[in-house]
Structure 1
């Protein structure tokens, strides 16, 4: 895997020739140049006032650069003296006119990105105007520039403690709420010497941060005279690298060469995370598989078969189960029947054969699979690799009736929430083929749920709405997703556990649970993220739950339960959610709702939007 490429721009302080400055930053290998659309001192009054009849050009000519240079190389900044939320009507109205003028100028120039500075929690009107602009010009991106954390002034006893209104995240939340969470309005966070708490950083990682602005004033000088960031700030920057952020160096050079700052940021990128093996899947919504109702395709099997962890654990579980069933002195003269239910293209069959060789126990192996195309592959493997020792059965495992029963049943029917691919129903339906003292691998699995702050999921669901589906349908559907741009509000809690073989009389796979969490800080609740862990056999585990995650495993992404409406959460709030697993003769589905801090509607009632077919 390769390191991520760093895109870093330079915010010029003083320049007289824009074209010459562009050529200079290109020679220095900066990716783009950040410049004000209008000279900072060029204040004008478009609605009345003594400057309203000011003549002459508003700013530099658009002919200074080719249009491709404006689009690819220039990021514009809106005048910082604008205050569209001023309580003074004349200032507010004039600022609105100037903002509109500069936004239309950026569109005329073809700028891909423009930066607007947010200076306080009084930004509702700014959010409204930006929302109006992106609704008209959806191709452009607006970066809302905010400080990463509240900068406390020097200690003075007469100053009041910081309030919610001092928190930059609250400014952002006010702005993006007014702008209806539009994807075209993203974040450019400005670093400072103030170090935020870990909780603050984690919350920002759940927001659409596309850029970090790094002032030259926060750099230190190392023993060789080069600029470096403090260790704590380095750690913060590396966390944001997972979001593929860009960087802007701003301020006068305090070292030998302005290019040294770029070199240092590239160095930090080299020390950051590798390009993920999940590259391209970050925050990408996928519908959960339904292997009972649908036959999987070859490429899906291939992805799962490349898992470096899962099949090693399965093989170890089968080996330990065989060793427990047969005394060491009798292994060479004993035959055990192992049935692989849902054999796919054979990785579990191979794991069973390997376990038999390692223990020296003779195996009678069955591969039960309903997908005719996978069965074809199994026959080929049986002839070419397994010496025709495997009995291949093409049927639904629930209707399999062999002439004798299994000592060990092996299956990999688990979904991202454990039971969401109907492992309980499949294994309960097939346990008639298992001996009374037989072993099921896996023997148990537990589902987990946690509250999630992820505006990205909200915007992705809206954007992915099919033309023939309602938005309600989209928000009542479950999604499998590799979550990156997210903040988990509280640790996950267990929902329920299924065990096999199932000794319940009668068997009832309906479940319901109410879970309670506590938020540490202000955030928004956009839904719930689901995980699972499974005990294959006697402590041999696989897990997607973050605290016990099986490092290196690639077979499962988390599952996401959306909410139709986001819920504002305050630090200390109790979050209570109820979840139901509903079962009929034909379908399984989930229903969920929030009880606290504010009750929500029950989602997916009667499986109206999402069901799993039996």
Structure 2
């Protein structure tokens, strides 16, 4: 199997399973190509025992107020006796350890009646404790009944508290809260034997479901409350049941950011194609494909699709190749597992991973500390990773070629003593930019005086070797920090000295002073050194940008070398870069930082991290633009204050690699109500299968600040202080839908070079607009990257975390305040997020916010 091919984990769930799962059942499931099975932890006998206990005691409880557990007086709760052999089909064996346990769906942990809630909690604890004893490591817990927990939220708190206790019963057991994708009152059906109808009216009151409206984010908010109560436990995840008609994209995107470990597909969400086989709409296919982009993609659980057929002699009819059917037999063959076969077919039709996904395999949502290139000499492997990005260096080569062409076209005087254009690569590393500079000069037919500067002594050794073997000694190498370098130098007597030393007869191993100024090598070397002539640089080239543009001290480094640049015509590549931010929901990153990293690094929540963001949701969005961004309609030079802009997964039975996915559509059926939608289900399904999905909302990504090079405000001498590189910004983000903000995503756009000459029109330029643009731009901004520098992979975004997540209600506003601070030794960032609710046309009220976070202790050293 191809390593990049997607493989789905697919399980079978039978809600009314009455018999224990045996090794034969498990073998049948494997033979039919299922990966896992579910099993109830307790039997109908246990259910009957609990109902009998409740019906016996409830009349006495109802007549005695002191018995109510919700009162302030002592109570005498109904006690459920421990499990007996008749109460559970499970036992500690090899089969049990490969099953997903299912908590009894008839309990009601969020019941407003304290007696019903207490019995439910007892059942939960009994089942979890026994499942952990038997070796079950994954347990499905039916989520709260939204009908009984939607008023004051006390039911959700009660549910979350029960789950928090349940997590302590099995240290190796993971709990999956089983929630619908969206909340709707019609989904709260009650089966015979459920405990919720036994809740007494004095606690439930008169329910008025007629006024209850559809709450698209209600289910997610319920899950968020439970997860917060359980302190973002790594052993608590969510299983999402997909509806027949999918909600708008923002709800789907929110769930995409959550730790969804299982997607359940009931048989009712499938429709029949022309041949009578079950199929999913394109909307469902797209949603599943998108979830498969996760590093650990969710499992798929088929529900209510019939029992698993028994195999003959332990061999599946699908896999038996000992006898070939006749044509008549083949035409009459009926697939015993059509829903499973459809999902396997969908698996085979998944697109291959993109170049970026291949490059970042294993790094999704993985926190990395930013580099400290000024104080730490990078290893060769670090340079090598960056050099694998073909886009960045292709763009640099285009920028250099255009700069050289413009220089010659505009007849600018060069700074070289011999009339050549002087080019310096500062921070050359292993030399990729040096190679590209030479190629660019050759492509435009201009001879350059090329210098390469590197402070890393280990990389400098490799540069010298490249100069001998690759560059044909066309590059002048210097080992120095760019901030202390005195610039290119020419020794006036170099040529004459070289000729004299070559023609001289060797007399001694060490040269001695003879008194002759014409033959003494020591004197010639000394006088040549005294006759050194320093000259300016015409074009400075650097690759000092970090994930936020300036976070690896590019401004400080380039300021230190700017005094060597041609003061009139000098060019810096890059010429400017702008940092961008956007508030995001990132529960996985938040949990990793606040639950794990703070144990070893107390200030872990005040450190910006380099992350390949994947399981996130942009909280601030706007309607999708129908016009794709191009270099001509995207401003990348100056900010506009109001613009928006491989660990394998684990399965109980097997392991498969992750996979990418597609954008996802939405259905408008929920907006007008479920009943109306169901009356036209067939036509809605046909439309969903044939109409292309509307574009997803565009994230609002705003510019914070910009740095330009050369900096016209600097004096001709090296800067004595760095206060001119401090920055401050206040940005306003509209938040259309409620959510929790866990931090800020940081991006950048960089103009390598802006040409004043018009670009020729060619067929290739028409197909790739960035080639025709006068600006050569690198971008990690997801709104502009596809148009400006597609498939670039040198930089992951920067994540600014929060110690405490900030809640935003619907139609609120996030105000983000950021600072770039410095002292004589280092540079650091500070950030703060506040939530506001608009009142009237101009008024607003502050709802809360974060404290000021500061990375000063982990700042970038100068």
**What TM-score, normalized by structure 1, do the two folds share?**
0.93
Aligned residue runs from structure 1 range 205-354, under 5 A: 205-243=256-294, 244-253=297-306, 256-275=334-353, 276-277=357-358, 278-327=360-409, 335-354=420-439
Q: CA deviation at 1:273?
A: 4.9
Q: CA deviation at 1:554?
A: 1.0
**8 Å CA contact retained: 1:46, 1:98:** no
**Which residue of 2 is the match for residue 143 of structure 1?**
176
Q: CA deviation at 1:94?
A: 1.5
Distance 1:75 1:478 in 2: 38
**Which residue of 2 is the match for residue 600 of structure 1?**
850
**8 Å CA contact retained: 2:17, 2:40:** no
C-alpha distance after superposition, 1:307-328 (max 9, x if no partner): 0200000000000000000139
**Which residue of 2 is the match for residue 110 of structure 1?**
135
Q: Which moved more, 1:571-580 or 1:37-46?
A: 37-46
Among candidates 26, 29, 35, match of residue 39 of structure 2: 35
Q: Quick one: structure 1 residues 58 and 354, their matched pair in 2 at CA, closer, same or farther if it must change by over 3 Å?
A: same
Structure 1, unpaired ranges of 5+: none
**8 Å CA contact retained: 1:164, 1:170:** no
**Which residue of 1 is the match for residue 751 of structure 2?**
535
Q: Quick one: structure 1 residues 315 and 329, their matched pair in 2 at CA, closer, same or farther if it must change by over 3 Å?
A: same
Matched, 1:178 2:229: yes
Distance 1:76 1:259 in 2: 22
SS of residue matched to 2:122: helix
**What TM-score, normalized by structure 2, do the two folds share?**
0.67
Q: Quick one: structure 1 residues 393 and 98, their matched pair in 2 at CA, closer, same or farther if it must change by over 3 Å?
A: same
Distance 1:266 1:307 in 2: 34
**Which residue of 1 is the match for residue 783 of structure 2?**
547
Q: Quick one: structure 1 residues 38 and 527, their matched pair in 2 at CA, closer, same or farther if it must change by over 3 Å?
A: same
SS of residue matched to 1:398: coil
Q: CA deviation at 1:505?
A: 4.2
Cα RMSD of the aligned pairs, angstroms, is 2.6
Q: CA deviation at 1:487?
A: 0.2
Higher strand share: 1
**8 Å CA contact retained: 2:41, 2:90:** no
Distance 2:276 2:573 in 1: 60
Relative contact order, higher structure (CA 8 A, sep 6+): 2
SS of residue matched to 2:857: coil
**Which residue of 2 is the match for residue 487 of structure 1?**
617
Q: Quick one: structure 1 residues 256 and 249, their matched pair in 2 at CA, closer, same or farther if it must change by over 3 Å?
A: farther
Q: Quick one: structure 1 residues 337 and 41, their matched pair in 2 at CA, closer, same or farther if it must change by over 3 Å?
A: farther
Distance 1:547 1:170 in 2: 28
Q: CA deviation at 1:269?
A: 3.1
Matched, 1:609 2:844: no
Q: CA deviation at 1:474?
A: 0.6
Q: Which moved more, 1:458-467 or 1:300-309?
A: 458-467
**8 Å CA contact retained: 2:17, 2:39:** no
Matched, 1:420 2:551: yes
**8 Å CA contact retained: 1:525, 1:566:** yes
SS of residue matched to 2:163: helix
Distance 2:831 2:52 in 1: 53
C-alpha distance after superposition, 1:125-161 (max 9, x if no partner): 221122223245332111111001234649xx99335
C-alpha distance after superposition, 1:57-116 (max 9, x if no partner): 2112416xx33x322x20010001111222223222211111000001110121121000
Among candidates 571, 574, 587, match of residue 455 of structure 1: 587
SS of residue matched to 2:46: coil
- How many residue pairs get matched? 604
Among candidates 720, 724, 735, match of residue 519 of structure 1: 735
Among candidates 106, 118, 123, match of residue 81 of structure 1: 106
**8 Å CA contact retained: 2:176, 2:239:** yes
SS of residue matched to 1:3: coil
SS of residue matched to 1:159: helix
**Which residue of 2 is the match for residue 95 of structure 1?**
120
CA radius of gyration, larger in: 2
Distance 1:487 1:347 in 2: 36
Aligned residue runs from structure 1 range 381-396, under 5 A: 381-396=466-481
Q: CA deviation at 1:434?
A: 1.0
Q: CA deviation at 1:46?
A: 9.9
SS of residue matched to 1:309: helix
Q: Quick one: structure 1 residues 164 and 218, their matched pair in 2 at CA, closer, same or farther if it must change by over 3 Å?
A: closer
Q: Quick one: structure 1 residues 613 and 329, their matched pair in 2 at CA, closer, same or farther if it must change by over 3 Å?
A: closer
Structure 2, unpaired ranges of 5+: 58-79, 150-154, 188-207, 308-332, 488-533, 621-699, 716-721, 755-774, 837-847
Q: CA deviation at 1:511?
A: 0.2
Aligned residue runs from structure 1 range 428-447, under 5 A: 428-436=559-567, 437-447=569-579
SS of residue matched to 1:406: coil
**Which residue of 2 is the match for residue 60 of structure 1?**
89
Q: Quick one: structure 1 residues 516 and 26, their matched pair in 2 at CA, closer, same or farther if it must change by over 3 Å?
A: same
Q: Which moved more, 1:4-13 or 1:161-170?
A: 161-170
Matched, 1:588 2:827: yes
**Which residue of 1 is the match for residue 539 of structure 2?**
408
SS of residue matched to 2:34: coil
Q: Quick one: structure 1 residues 365 and 199, their matched pair in 2 at CA, closer, same or farther if it must change by over 3 Å?
A: same
Q: Which moved more, 1:82-91 or 1:373-382?
A: 82-91
Q: Which moved more, 1:21-30 or 1:533-542?
A: 21-30
**8 Å CA contact retained: 1:442, 1:537:** yes
Q: Quick one: structure 1 residues 222 and 382, their matched pair in 2 at CA, closer, same or farther if it must change by over 3 Å?
A: same
SS of residue matched to 2:50: coil
SS of residue matched to 1:465: helix
